[in-house]
Amino acid sequence: MGTVATWRESSPVVRLLMVNQFGVMLGFYLILPNLSAHLSGDLGLSAALVGLVLGVRTLSQQGMTLFGGTAADRLGCRWLILTGCALRSVAFVMFAVYDSLPGIMAAAVVTGISGAVFTPATRTYLTRAAGENKLAAYALFNMAGNTGALFGPLLGSVLLLWDFRLVAAVSAVVFAVLTAAQAFLLPPQPRAKSGQSVFGDWRYLMSDRPFLVFVAAVSVLFVAYNQLYLLLPMEITRVTGSAGSVSLVFVVMAVIGMVGSVPLATRVPRRLGRGRAVALGVALCGLAFVPTAFSGALQGGRPPGESISSASVPGLLLSALPVLAATVVLAVGHTIAISLSQEVAVSYAPPGLTGTYIGMFSMAAGLSAAGGNFLIGYLSDLGDRYGMRWLPWLFLVVLGAAAAWAVARMRHIPEGHDSTPARRAAAKRPPRVEESLP
C-alpha cells in the first residue's frame, strides 16, 4: 500500500497525530541545530558548558520516558500530550528570554521533561487509535516526523538571519498552536488498567526477558542513527574540506525517510516476516559504515582543510561519495526497521502497560545512543591518534552484525498485531506479578 492510500485509509484521529508529529519535529528542529551556536557565540559559553546544556536536555528527556509512559497508562494520553506540548512552548520562550546559565539550564530541563511527557503519550494514543493497522500508522508517523525534521532547519536558518530569539519565539508559537489545536480536536481515549500498582507494572516489565532482549538488540538502530550528529558530519567535513557539506547528509537521510517510510516499513515485513525484516534493517545500519572506512583514500591529494570554493563540484561529490553511500544505506536500514521495531515492541505489552513498554523502549534507545556516542567518540579520538581511522567504523559494523544476529536468533518475536496464541491468552488477564505497595 502506498503512502497516499495509507493516509486516506487512516482515521481522522490518526491523521491529526501525523500533523502533530510534523509540527513537533518542525518546531524542535527549528531551534535545535542553532542552539549550540547561540550558546557558544551569542552567550559566550565554553564548549564544555554547551555540551553540559545539551546533555542535560537529552538526559532529562530520555531518562524519564518510562515515567511518562506509565503516566500515560495511569492518567490518560490526551492530557499528557497537551501538557507536554504546552511545556515545550514554555521552554522555548525561556530560551528566547534567558541569557544566564541557570536560566538556560532550566530551559533545557523543561525541554527534556516536556518530551518525556508527550512522546510516549502520543505513541500510546496512536497505538490504541490505529487498531490492527499499527505498522502503517507508525510508518506514517515517522514519515511526518522526517518531513518536519527536513523543513525545520531550513526555516530556522532563514529566521536566524534576524535573531536567535526570533527562532525560539517561532518554535514556541508552533507548540502553542499544537496545544490549542489538540485541545479542541483530540478526543479523550479510554484507559486500560493493568490491575496492579505502578511498582507491580515495572516489576512485570523487568521480568519480560524476550522484550528486554529485543529492546537491547534494536537499540543499535539508535546508536547508528545518531552518527548523523557525530561521525558522519565530521567525516564529510574532513574529506570535502567544507562544513557546509554536512547538509547533504541530512537532506539524503530526510528524503529517504519521507519517501520510503511507508513502502519499506510495510512491504519488507510482508515478504520476510517481522523478525527477519528487523534483523535486515539492523544489519544494514551496521553495513552502512563499511564505505566510510575507505573515504580517506578518495581525497585525491587535496588537504582536508581546503575550502569548498577551490574544489571542483565533481571532485567534491567524489570525495563525499563514501559518506553519502553510507547515509543512503543507513537511511534504508533505519527506515525498514524503526517503525517495525516500535510495532513489535508494543506487541509485547499486555493491556494497561502499552505506555510503560513504549516508555521503556524510548528510554533504552536514548541511553544507548548517548552511551554509544561516548564510546564511538573515544574510539574516533583513539583512531586519529594512532592512525586507525577505521576503528570507530569497524566497531559500528561489528555492533550492527551482532545485533542483527541476536534479533534473527530470537524465538519470541510476535509476528502480528495479535501476537502468538500464548501471548494473546496471557494478554487477556492481568500480569501475574504480586502487587507492590503503592
Cβ partners under 8 Å of residue 359, min gap 6:
65, 66, 67, 68, 69, 70, 72, 120
What phi-psi label fits residue 432: left (phi over 0), alpha (psi between -120 and 50 degrees) or beta? beta
Residues 138 and 123: their CA atoms lie apart, in Å, by: 8
**What does the pLDDT average to over 204-213?**
92
pLDDT reported for residue 244: 65
Residue 135's closest CA among 402, 421, 431, 417? 417
Residues 351 and 225: their CA atoms lie apart, in Å, by: 31
DSSP state of 294: G
Residue 306 has pLDDT above 60, yes or no: no
Q: Do residues 187 and 249 touch, judged by C-beta distance below 8 A?
A: no
Residue whose C-alpha cell reads 567525516 in the numeric block: 235
Q: Higher confidence at residue 86 or residue 434?
A: 86
Model confidence band, residue 160 (pLDDT cutoffs 50, 70, 90): confident
Q: Higher confidence at residue 22 or residue 130?
A: 22
Q: Higher confidence at residue 52 or residue 183?
A: 183
The neighbour count for residue 382, using CB atoms within 10 Å, is 12
Residue 435 has pLDDT above 60, yes or no: no
Residue whose C-alpha cell reads 516526523 in the numeric block: 145
For residue 60, CA distances in Å to 26, 54, 80, 90 come to 21, 10, 16, 16
Residues 186 and 88: their CA atoms lie apart, in Å, by: 18
Model confidence band, residue 270 (pLDDT cutoffs 50, 70, 90): confident
What phi-psi label fits residue 242: left (phi over 0), alpha (psi between -120 and 50 degrees) or beta? beta
Model confidence band, residue 388 (pLDDT cutoffs 50, 70, 90): confident
Residue 194 has pLDDT above 80, yes or no: no
Q: Higher confidence at residue 360 or residue 163?
A: 360
Helices (H), 226-353: 231-240, 246-272, 274-287, 313-347
For residue 166, CA distances in Å to 25, 29, 31, 89, 372 come to 18, 14, 10, 13, 34
Residue 270's closest CA among 422, 418, 413, 135? 135
Most confident listed range (32-36, 169-173, 295-299, 391-395)? 169-173
Mean pLDDT (the chain, rounded): 81
Model confidence band, residue 316 (pLDDT cutoffs 50, 70, 90): low
Name the residue type at position 17. Answer: L
Residue 389's closest CA among 401, 376, 398, 400? 376
**What does the pLDDT average to over 285-300?**
72
Most confident listed range (49-63, 132-146, 278-292)? 278-292
Residues 406 and 329: their CA atoms lie apart, in Å, by: 20
Angle between helices 65-75 and 77-97 (to 10 degrees): 140
pLDDT reported for residue 41: 74
* DSSP helix/strand/coil, 242: coil
pLDDT reported for residue 130: 83
Q: Higher confidence at residue 369 or residue 331?
A: 331
Most confident listed range (196-200, 271-275, 398-402, 429-433)? 398-402
Cβ partners under 8 Å of residue 346, min gap 6:
127, 134, 354, 357, 358
Residue 85's closest CA among 180, 186, 153, 14? 180
Q: Higher confidence at residue 219 or residue 299?
A: 219
Which grid coordinates belong to 129? 487509535
* DSSP helix/strand/coil, 186: coil
User: Among 236-240, 343-347, 434-438, where is mean pLDDT lowest?
Assistant: 434-438
Q: Higher confidence at residue 335 or residue 313?
A: 335
Model confidence band, residue 400 (pLDDT cutoffs 50, 70, 90): very high
Model confidence band, residue 248 (pLDDT cutoffs 50, 70, 90): confident
What are the tens digits of pLDDT across the range 24-51?
999 988 887 777 777 777 778 776 677 6
pLDDT reported for residue 5: 66
Q: Do residues 236 and 326 touch, judged by C-beta distance below 8 A?
A: no
pLDDT reported for residue 113: 92
User: Among 99-108, 119-128, 215-224, 371-380, where is mean pLDDT lowest?
Assistant: 371-380
Reported pTM: 0.82
Name the residue type at position 306. Answer: E
User: Among 109-113, 212-216, 411-415, where is mean pLDDT lowest?
Assistant: 411-415
Percent with pLDDT over 90 in the chain? 28
Residue 26's closest CA among 174, 200, 158, 131? 174
**What does the pLDDT average to over 267-284?**
90
Residue 227 has pLDDT above 80, yes or no: yes
User: Among 129-138, 296-305, 346-355, where is mean pLDDT lowest?
Assistant: 296-305
Q: Higher confidence at residue 194 or residue 161?
A: 161
The neighbour count for residue 394, using CB atoms within 10 Å, is 16
pLDDT reported for residue 175: 94
Cβ partners under 8 Å of residue 228, min gap 6:
249, 250, 253, 327, 330
pLDDT reported for residue 361: 92
Residues 200 and 194: their CA atoms lie apart, in Å, by: 9
Q: Higher confidence at residue 61 or residue 295?
A: 61
